[in-house]
Every structure is written in C-alpha cells, then in structure tokens.
Amino acid sequence: MNKKRKNSIMQSLPYLILVIVICSVLFVYSGGKSSVHDLKTGDFLNYIKENKVTEMTVTPKSDESIYYITGKIDGYKSNESFTVKIIKEQMDTVTNYAESHNLNLYDTNKDPGSSTVLYILVNVVPILLVCGVGYVMFMKMASGNNKSMDFGRSRAKLSEDGGKVRFSDVAGLKEEKEEVAELIDFLKNPKKFQKLGARIPKGVLLVGPPGTGKTLLAKAVAGEANVPFYYISGSDFVELFVGVGASRVRDMFKQAKQSAPCLIFIDEIDAVGRQRGSGIGGGHDEREQTLNQLLTEMDGFGANEGIIIIAATNRPDVLDPALLRPGRFDRQVTVSLPDAKEREEILKVHARNKIFDKSVNLGAISQRTPGFSGADLENLLNEAALLAVRRNKNAIGMDEVDEATDRVLMGPAKTSRKITEKEKRLVAIHESGHAVIGIKLADAQEVHKITIIPRGVAGGYTMMLPKEDKIGIMTKEELECQITGLLGGRASEKLFLGETTTGASDDFKKATRIARSMVTKYGMSDLGPMQLEEESEGVFLGRDYNKTKNFSDQVALEIDKAVRKIIEDCYDKAVKILKENEDLVHLLADALVEHETLTKEQIECLVETGKMCPVEPQVSAEPTMVKLKEVAKAKGIKGYQKMTREELEKAIEELDK
C-alpha cells in the first residue's frame, strides 16, 4: 500500500512543479492584485493643472494620432494607477508638464491596453498548458498502470490464487459440483487425460436464473484447482471504438496462454454472445466483430493447452448457435433454484457470521421460502440482522426472520398508514376468502400466513406455499386449484359484503395468465393437445413481441372462450366452497380484524377449535453458533472463534469420542 502511494506521489510530482512554476511566473509579473482607473481626458488635464500627476508613461498607437498615457496621481496607493486616451494636439500640455516636473516621459512600442499579466496569459500560458498536456499524455501512455490510450488491452482481472472460494463455500449444487469436478482434476493433472486421449471440454456454460450461484461456482473451481483465475464481464469487451472488443479478446487469450494452466470466467456472456445477423440488413456492429474474434480464439487453442473457459448467463436462448457447438462451449450446466434441503444448507453458510437466538429454526425457514435463490436467502438473513440491530437486540430472532421474509416478498409494512374499520373488514374478508380455499381444497397450496397490514401496493396478502418441492411439473387439477384460490378473494367480497373492489386486480392478472397458458401452451382444454403460442426466435425484438401465434382469428375466438370457461368454472367452485364454509370465513376475518396477522399455527388452531390458541415459539433443534462457541471454549478448543459451524461441530465431536 505504501509503495503504491509512493509511486503515485512520484508520478504527480512533475505536475505539481509545473503548477507552482506557472503560479510563480504569474505572481511575479502581476505584482499582486492591482487597480487601474480609466480617466476622462478632461479629468486628466485638470489633474495636470492641479500638479497632482506624479508619474506618466506615454505610448503612441500605430497611427501616432492617439496617445495612451498611464501613470499615478498624488494620493494613489502603490497598486493603483490610471490610464487615459488623448489626441495628438493635447500632447504639448503633457510634454510641458513632464519637463517642468522632471518626469521621465518616454514612448514604448507596446499597446498599453495589454498589461504584462495579460501578455503572459495570452502568449505564455497556452504554451505551458500544451506542454503540460503533452507530458501527461506521454506519461500515461508509457505508464504500466495508467493506460488511458491502451484501449485494446484486456480488461480481465487476474487472481493468482483463484480467490479464497472453495466448494465448502458453495452450499447445495451437488450435481453441478460433480459436473465441474473433472475440470479441476484436468487443471491439476492434465497428463492423466492426455494419456487416454480424452478431450476435456474447452468451455462450460453455466445456465440458470439470477442469484443461483453461477459466479460463485466458477470461483470455487478456480479456488479448488489453485490456478490463475481471469474474471471479466461480457460488457467489458465492447467499447465505443471500432475493433477494440476484438483486440481485447486477442489480448485476453494471449495472457491466458502465458499463464496456462488457468481458468477464464466470462460473466453475463449474453452481452457479447448474442445471435448475429439481427436488425435491419443483417447487422454487423462492433459486438458481432467481438463475438467473431471470440469464436476464432476458442478454436485457436488446443483442447489440452490447459485453458478452461467458463461462462455464465441467464439468457441462453439469445446466444449465438456457434458458441454452443462442440469445440467451444461443449457442456451446459444448469444451475437451478435450490430445493428445501439445499436452501437449508445455503442458510447455514450465510448464518456463519450471525448470532441467532433459540427460536430460529433454519429448517423451518427453508420450508417457507420456495422459489428463493441463494442471493435471496442471503438477503433474507441480512435483512433480519438489520432489523435486529434496529430493535437493539443482541441476537436475531424468529420475529426478525418472519418480518424480513415479508419485506423481501412484499416490501416493508406501512404501519403508519391509517386504515378505517370498513377497509380493515373488507381486506379481512378478502384475505379470508383466499385462505379458506387453500384450507379446504386438497390440491391447493398450504396457507402459512394471513395479514391485513399493507405492504408495497398490496392492502394485505395471504402466503400460500407448496406443500412439497416439485421439479416444475404440475397437474391440471393443481393449476385449477391455484386459479380458484386466486379468485377466492373476489368471491368472498361479493358473497359476504355485496361489494366488488379493486383489490383483486393482481389476482385476476395471475389467474388469467395461468388459464391462458393451460389453453395455449399445455393443451389442457377442449381445443386439444396443441401448443398454440410459442416463443419466437426473434430475441432482439423484446420479450413482449416474441410470441408466435400458430392459429387463425377463428381459433383465437375459441381460445378466448376456453380461457373464459376455465375462469368461470374456478370462480363458481370458489363461491361454492365459501358458501359451505361461511362460518370459517367470518371466524378468520374477525381474528384478522383483531390481531391483523395470523400465523400458520394460529390458523390451524382456529380451524380445529374455533378459538385463538397460545402458540409456543419454535425451538431450533440444532445449537446456535453462540452455544457451539461456548462449548468449544469450555472444552479448550484452540482457534474456535474463527471456526465455521461445521468445523466447530467436528472439533467438538472428535473431543467427545
């Protein structure tokens, strides 16, 4: 750090000296701040008559018919002077006065309208500035660290040890780790593969939603292999100037070959790897030239040269097919959203540096967070920690975790908003309608929470989560149950209040989208097993314009009828269920008006007993980090304060043996 600072000071020293010289010259020639008075000819002649002129300097113009006179008058300060313009006929009076008062009157060839300071500013300073700028540009071009003109150099960042990330830092992703494990083996011992004639994949493409750990997995590969790790984003290749992107690609591979074996990681490769030939006329912009160079370089090195390329994207559909062929990105590894077990493992990793009380159960948190990515879970625990600090607590409790979950899903609670009793009752009836459908339908999602506290744009919400993790396959009955649950709010309003509100707009949006997908994509209607809409390959037109319609206008009418029938059938089903369970709707609504929020345990108690039951806080089955450290301290384990949970548990277990 001191060396860098010293080098920075040495580089800045010439510029500092240059500034000091300029300021010194200006100060010397200016003589400090001065004041010049412009006199009228009549006033000047009056001063001569009164014998008040003490100094005079006469300077003729080129035509010598007009004279400029500068000087001082009795009573002026040292930094004060005057200037006046007189005609040739008046010079006799000036000359006689100068002779009678022994004044040194002389002519000069310079224009009195330009002072010494102005002369320097106009003639000297520009030269100094040009020299200074030239010097700066020369130093930056010659410098090894500041390459302002070196546009073609690679922007890839090099980490000699591949970073400190290991597979132990990547929770879940068991299959994904197995897919990339052989890359690590190849980087460590390439001769083993060469002996059997095996060709390791040149490139691995990590595909998956944002926040699932693609970048983290690539860092872990480099960390496990302990090889140089080049990291660059796809957007770092593209520059304003033509040919810069291709030049950066060439330079990156040149550096990689010199550091082989090594790993190159290109994040967000869709920024530079999009399909060619887009736009009017086929297109041939700077991005396409960069992609062409990337394709060429990937073909240019051998399979066993010790260079592995890993790229990540969440938009594989927009990538150019040439990138995905064998010999380039031979292998695609899908990094999907974690299941309940993986979410618990991820939570344990992010909980290492946090203090939780006994009420926190990471397993329970994982069950109520389906669809959360690793980044979402990390943000969840961080929000919980911030809430605990805000509440001046010494440990994170389950209350903070629940509140953080709601904040991540729906936004912060708007507790300051005043709600009338009528609005409260209306929202309670609406949300109770959703909940009763979820309780009574066998294939519906499980109700975990109901609240009438406004969050975000919602006046309240019912948290309904899948009863178990699925691989993405859903039955027709399950989809219909989802629609029925979404329509339960409007049905409850109309049945028990005789009113319809705007609160169901988002429910209608979701229900309509599911119903239309059932008809046009999944073939779950009377129109038959046909896919009537599909995503087009025109990926550059935008997602809203990408749907290809494989039907006529007549079929479009049939689609609308089929969607309407699904919606109407589900709505009628919701009305029937709510009529049969009117008492339960009012019971839940009354409890919501009183308590504003109902947990899963409280809902189950109301359904079973018809009364609110006191709910004991859940106690985590596993010890907290605080408890583990206390045990480690008591057993005399050295370095326990820096250990992870797994290391602490292992150390304690070995001592117990």
Do 651 and 631 meet the contact criterion of CB atoms below 8 Å apart? no
Give the count of beta carbons closer than 10 Å to the beta carbon of residue 245. 26
For residues 75-114, one letter each, b for 16 or more C-beta atoms within 10 angstroms of the residue's C-beta and e for the rest, the string is: ebeeeebbbbbbeeeeeeebeebbeeeebebeeeeeebee
CB 353 within 8 A of CB 361: no
State how beta strands 461-465 and 262-267 pair. unpaired
DSSP labels, 58-69? EEE-TTSSEEEE
Query: Of 383, 431, 480, 493, which residue is the catalytic one?
Result: 431
3-state helix, strand, coil in the chain (%, to 5): 55, 15, 35
3-state secondary structure 452-497: CCCECCECCEEEEECCCCCCCCCCHHHHHHHHHHHHHHHHHHHHHC
| CB 395 within 8 Å of CB 388 | yes
Question: Where do we find the tokens 């930094």?
Answer: 79
Q: Select from 247, 245, 246, 251 the least CA-distant residue to 264.
A: 251
Q: How far apart are CA 62 and CA 85, in angstroms?
A: 14
At 435, list the tokens. 């909940």
How many CB atoms are located within 10 Å of the residue 455 CB? 18
Whether 591 and 598 have beta carbons less than 8 Å apart is answered as yes
The helix (run of H) or strand (run of E) holding residue 323 is helix 321-324
CA 289 distance to own-chain centroid: 27
Contact 593, 424 (CB under 8 A): yes
Phi, psi of 55 (to 5 degrees): -140, 145
Residues forming a β-bridge with 396: 356
Give me the helix-helix angle, 116-123 and 2-30, nearest 10°.
140
Strands (E), 197-337: 203-207, 229-233, 262-267, 307-313, 329-334
β-bridge partners, 158? 230
178 included as an active-site residue: no
Residues catalogued as catalytic? 431
